[in-house]
Each structure stands twice: as structure tokens, then as C-alpha cells.
Amino acid sequence: MTGQAQYPNTRLRRGRAAAWSRAMLRENFLTSADLIWPLFVTDGEGIEQPIASLPGVSRWSVDGIVERAGEAIALGIPCIALFPNTQADRRSADGAEALNPDNLMCRAIRAVKAAHGDAIGILTDVALDPYTSHGQDGLIDDKGYVLNDETVAMLVDQAVNQAEAGADIIAPSDMMDGRIGAIRRALEMGGHHNVQIMSYAAKYASAFYGPFRDAVGSGGLLKGDKKSYQMDPANGDEALREVAMDIAEGADSVMVKPGMPYLDIVARVSGHFNIPVFAYQVSGEYAMIEAAAAAGAGDRDAMILESLTAFKRAGASGILTYHAAHAARLLAQ
């Protein structure tokens, strides 16, 4: 009679004791089909430019982007996201290069489609920051304030330009009000009925975008911040209003960005709405993991897979991550 009453009836550790049991009880799974691979495009041919603040990530000329797309297909990654490093002499106050049917983005889209057809999806970012001489995502007034409706008119034309080049998913990342509805209408009128819109619905004015701005070359140009259009990191309820608005305007899927510090937002959005939710593990998060691994603070591969699985647990349908190809390789092992 030695203390049977002290035995717990429930031992959750029973289920964790053996690998077969852990496998049987696992609730969430990461697969390569969950991943979207962001890629940076630069001008020229045969060019790979490493990005210092994103160790392991490079800008590629269009031929290299076509190769990376082939790599993604082989790894089971369903979609790539393209971002241009626009030539300096093609940036202007109004970002007009965004509307050029032969800009870097459109050339990359056409080349990937010519080489790979529908074997892979192409997601394209809609916002003016890779094209403006001031680094803001839209048109600014003389005080530097980003004008909403004037910017939306540009974004509509930018989106149609990308769709005409062959983009599969238009992803507005600008956070202007009303742009999803305006872009949807223009896509329909242009006959692009099957071009999807993945809205960066809850995009925060984050300190984690630094390396991305280096990658597209807008960082050095940007004066001030993006707080008058991107969301306050302190806000959660407002994210639900943003998502509701974009769904009402015709978004096919929505995104939360950044990722890891905003898993609560991913969980709330996926709990409230019946629509696919994607999370963007942004450049600063990638850099953080790489820096931690380089400093010996953790196992790189394990940190990568754990962080990506956590997005699935939070309710994400998929994740944009610069680790996509590496993670897919790990998952294939």
C-alpha cells in the first residue's frame, strides 16, 4: 500500500515514449507543398549576387531565376515569389517602371513560364517600393505622405501588367485601403479570371524587413518609415478588420507578415475566417536564425524545421520563407 494514490491516472509522456507513438499522435505536418520560395531578380545574364545581410540568399539574373524555379519544381515547392532589384536609373518618384511590360519582373515571369509552364506558380508582389526613388510603397505628397487612392490607381496597372506577363498570384503588399477590390475588378475586366489575389492583409510596420530592403535596393533610399500605412505591431483586433475587408473585396487568400512574432495573429485569422492564411517568415527572421546558427546558439536545420512547423500549428496553410529550398531538401531526407 505504498502510495498508489500518488500515481497520476493520465501520463501524457506515455504517448511520447516511442518514436512510432510520436509519429502516430503528431497533429501537424510540414511538407514541401506548404512552402513558397521568395527570389530576388537582378538585371543581366549569368549573374549571382550574394546579399550580405541575408547570408545564403542571392539575387539572380533571369536565367538563374529560371534555374531556381526548376530546382523548386524538383523539390515539390509549388510556388515562387519574385522581387526585382530594379536598376537605379529606372527608379523614379512615381515608380513608373512598375508599369513597363518589359521590366525585370515581367521578363522573369515570362522566362519562368516559357521554361516551366504550369509546373510552378508565380506569385508577384504589388507595391511600388522596388521602383520608387524614395523607397516608399506608393506615391508621396510634398510632405512624404503616401497617397492612398492615387497609389491604388498605379497598383491596379502594375497588377494587370504582371498578370499579362503570366503571373499566377497577385500579392499586393502595399497596405493601401481598397486596393484588393480595385485590382480584382481590373483583372476581371482584363479577362484574368483565374489569376488569384493573395493579399498581404495584416502587414505590420516591422523592424524585421531590413535585409529585404537591401535585397531590392530600396533600403538606402527610404527616408522615414512606413507607419502611416503598415500596421502598428501593438494591434491584433485591427488585423481581423484588415482581413475582413480584403475578403469582402475578393481576396482568394490572405497573408500575415512578419511570421514568428505574429503567430497569435495567424491563429486568430485562421480561427475567425474560412480562407487560406499564409505567413511570411521575413528576411529579418531568416537572418536571425542564420545568425543564431552561426553563433553556435542552436542547430540550424532543427531551428528551421521547428519554426516552419510552428506556422502550421498556428493554422497557416503555407509559409513564404527564404529557407524553402533547404527545408524541402531536409524534408525529402
**Shortest Cβ 41–ligand PBG spacing (Å):** 14
**Shortest Cβ 317–ligand PBG spacing (Å):** 18
Residue with smaller CB distance to ligand PBG, 107 or 257:
257
**Residue 203 known to be catalytic:** yes
CA distance 53 to 55: 6
SS3 label, residue 266: helix
Catalytic residue among 113, 223, 226, 257: 257
Please list, in sequence order, all residues whose beta carbon lies within 8 angstroms of the beta carbon of residue 163, skipping any fewer than 6 positions away: 170, 187, 190, 192, 195
The single-letter DSSP state of residue 263 is H
Residue with smaller CB distance to ligand PBG, 292 or 296:
292
Residue with smaller CB distance to ligand PBG, 118 or 279:
279
Residue with smaller CB distance to ligand PBG, 168 or 174:
174
**Shortest Cβ 283–ligand PBG spacing (Å):** 3
Catalytic residue among 113, 203, 226, 312: 203
CA distance 77 to 69: 9
User: What element of type H or E holds 278?
Assistant: strand 277-281
Residue with smaller CB distance to ligand PBG, 63 or 157:
157
**Shortest Cβ 43–ligand PBG spacing (Å):** 19
Q: Which residues pair with 48 in a beta bridge?
A: 60
Kindly state the cell numbers that stand for 104. Answer: 525585370
**Shortest Cβ 125–ligand PBG spacing (Å):** 5
The answer to whether the CB of 319 falls within 8 A of the CB of 281 is yes
**Shortest Cβ 130–ligand PBG spacing (Å):** 7
Please list, in sequence order, all residues whose beta carbon lies within 8 angstroms of the beta carbon of residue 132, skipping any fewer than 6 positions away: 91, 92, 93, 94, 95, 218, 221
Residue with smaller CB distance to ligand PBG, 134 or 226:
226
CA distance 299 to 221: 36
Contact residues toward ligand PBG (CB under 6 A) are 125, 127, 129, 137, 173-174, 209, 212-213, 226, 282-283
**Residue 257 known to be catalytic:** yes
Burial bucket for residue 114 (CB in 10 Å: 0-12, 13-18, 19+): exposed
For ligand PBG, which residue has the nearest CB? 212
CA distance 282 to 107: 25
Continuous H helices in the chain? 13-16, 19-25, 62-75, 104-116, 148-165, 179-189, 210-216, 237-248, 263-272, 283-294, 300-314, 324-332
Catalogue the active-site residues: 203, 257
